[in-house]
Structure 1
Amino acid sequence: MANRPVIKALLIDLSGTIHTDTQPIPMSSHAIGRLRAASLPFRFCSNMSKESTAALRDRLDKMGIQTHDNEVWTSIGAVNALLRAKGLTRPFILASETAEEECLRGIHDDQALPHDSVVVTFAPAQLNYVALNTAFRVLMGEHHTQRGQQRPDYPLIATHRARYIGDSDGALSLGLGPFVAALENATGRTAEIVGKPERKFFELVLNSLGPELQDREGVVAVIGDDIQTDLGDGAVELGFWRVLVRSGKYRDGDESRAGIRPPDEVCDSFASFVESLLDK
């Protein structure tokens, strides 16, 4: 590990870093309490898209992991912000019920109008042939374009493109990325990713810290169990101190995989990182 710089704020992954499925990772809740006591600013940054942000917070609460308002930032919330910014009002959405409700919050979804975009989230029950084929047809304008007309340029929006996830049994399972890649391959479109590791997502979260960062010296640290999705592109571009933890989906050798920029630091767990940070 290189000499750790002064850390002025933390961006913390949830699944695989703070908890796995419905179980908190040992000492993670205690470590969060220590950060609060030390008045060190932090935000939780999650690509979790199986449920709404509110449902995720409720699930964390049941695990004994307390979160405050404006602390949890998810890719589902980022979808809603992007739909509003683009003026899209009739997306075809592959998502759970609560996630879809959050995606459409404040958007007038006129059922009489044709779809104007496709949103893909990690909703395993929705990622079947029929649904994916409908998404394909929307993107290709199959039902609203007559032969000889130019196909509409409907956007494909995805919460993330993680290739695999850490599942409840401790093994790896297929992630959202391969399904996004299938739609990209079939339609010739490139998906707009709204979650990690996109720079825009990290910047959105940083803006929420506002004045808390203005008078602080040092760098922002990002902590996660996925060397690509949690600590990739945007985290590198923004100059974050990138901390990989050996929990969740981590597998031996992840930090030295070919073609991947190594993390700045590797720790056994989120709690061990916090302990070394605050004790030092």
Structure 2
Amino acid sequence: MLLDLLGVVYDGGTPIAGAAAAVERLRNAGLLLRFVSNTTRSSRSAIIAQLAAMGIEVADEELLTPARAAVEWLRRHGRRPHLLVHPDLEVEFSGLKGGSGRAVVVGDAGEAFDHASLNRAFRELVAGADFLALAVNRTFKDSDGLLSLDAGAFVAALEFASGRSPVVLGKPSPDFFLSALAGLNCPAADAVMIGDDAESDVAGALSAGVGAALLVRTGKYRPNDETRVDPAPTAVIDDLAAATDWIISRAAA
């Protein structure tokens, strides 16, 4: 089982009704879970603490984020990061030492996105730095309940200006989904993904070979999102509680 967080389990700092009980039901049904989040404004420890405050206990190995994938990539390739990320995420990269080259790492920097910061990243890319995008989501549901620009627009601007294509580390990268499933020892065809983003969560998972992907009508979901993506969702469900009913009923069949 793969579960998105923002828009599925919680909105901002508020749990979505029935989500905590749904996670408990999935665990009680014997299903192994991985929480796969494209959130790039919060550290792993902050996310785990936020979930704990909502009554959802998540072990470190159950949470996969693009920042963790980026740190592993940087270590594997011997690169030092040039960060264009939210200040709260910088701690995730603090343990990196040395490296034979540079890599620009772009996440949702929020207010830190300005001409100067984008231009510094652009100049690094022109000078030959590798290009890592933590995620390429178009939008996210902001704290005021409206959609806001996500990192994808800024990644696209750097790609256009530099003529360089990024390595995408979060959803919808197939490697991101497959890495989460590797920890479960679960074939992709037997897995289910639950998300509120038709493009990154649902179509991304299905394109990676995940057997089923459910789109919930919470979070950033807007009417007819399911008609705008290919592959289309396996099913469109009201919320995580209803998705849990869908999964458990089929597991028992």
Place the TM-score, normalised by the shorter chain, in its bin: over 0.9
Matched to 2:97, the amino acid is H
Q: What TM-score, normalized to structure 1? A: 0.84
**What is the aligned counterpart of 1:178 among 116, 130, 153?**
153
Within 5 Å, give how 1:61-80 maps onto structure 2.
61-80=52-71
2:125 is matched with: 139
Within 5 Å, give how 1:235-274 maps onto structure 2.
235-257=206-228, 260-274=230-244
Aligned mates of 1:62, 1:239 — CA distance in 2: 30
The runs of at least 4 consecutive aligned structure 1 residues that moved more than 4 Å come to none
1:125 matches 2:111: yes
2:93 is matched with: 103
Contact 1:22 1:63 (C-alpha < 8 Å) held by counterparts: no
Within 5 Å, give how 1:1-280 maps onto structure 2.
10-88=1-79, 90-105=80-95, 107-109=96-98, 116-141=102-127, 152=128, 154-210=129-185, 213=186, 219-257=190-228, 260-279=230-249
Structure 1 residue 131: Cα displacement: 0.7
Deviations 1:28-59 (A, max 9, x none): 00011111111111110000110211111112
Structure 1 residue 109: Cα displacement: 4.6
Aligned mates of 1:44, 1:78 — CA distance in 2: 14
Contact 2:40 2:134 (C-alpha < 8 Å) held by counterparts: yes
Kindly tell me the number of residue pairs found equivalent between the two proteins. Answer: 250
List gaps (5 residues or longer) in structure 1: 1-9, 142-151
Contact 1:55 1:98 (C-alpha < 8 Å) held by counterparts: no
Contact 2:203 2:232 (C-alpha < 8 Å) held by counterparts: no
Structure 1 residue 98: Cα displacement: 4.3
Structure 1 residue matching 2:61: 3-state secondary structure: coil
1:145 is matched with: none
Say which structure is richer in helix.
2
Structure 2 residue matching 1:195: 3-state secondary structure: coil
Structure 1 residue matching 2:172: 3-state secondary structure: coil
Aligned mates of 1:218, 1:125 — CA distance in 2: 40
Contact 2:203 2:233 (C-alpha < 8 Å) held by counterparts: no
1:5 is matched with: none
Point out which structure has higher relative CO (alpha carbons under 8 A, 6+ apart).
1
Deviations 1:128-164 (A, max 9, x none): 11111110111112xxxxxxxxxx3x21101111111
Structure 1 residue 271: Cα displacement: 0.9
Aligned mates of 1:233, 1:278 — CA distance in 2: 23
Contact 1:202 1:235 (C-alpha < 8 Å) held by counterparts: no
Aligned mates of 1:117, 1:277 — CA distance in 2: 40
Deviations 1:196-219 (A, max 9, x none): 111111111111113xx38xx971
Asked which structure has the greater CA Rg, the reply is 1
Q: What TM-score, normalized to structure 2? A: 0.92
Matched to 1:220, the amino acid is A
Matched to 1:191, the amino acid is P
Aligned mates of 1:270, 1:42 — CA distance in 2: 14
Contact 1:80 1:104 (C-alpha < 8 Å) held by counterparts: no
List gaps (5 residues or longer) in structure 2: none
Aligned mates of 2:152, 2:64 — CA distance in 1: 20
Structure 1 residue 78: Cα displacement: 0.7
User: Closer, same or farther in 2 for the Cα pair 1:269/1:95, shift >3 Å?
Assistant: same
* CA RMSD between the two structures: 2.0
Contact 1:199 1:233 (C-alpha < 8 Å) held by counterparts: yes
Matched to 1:256, the amino acid is T
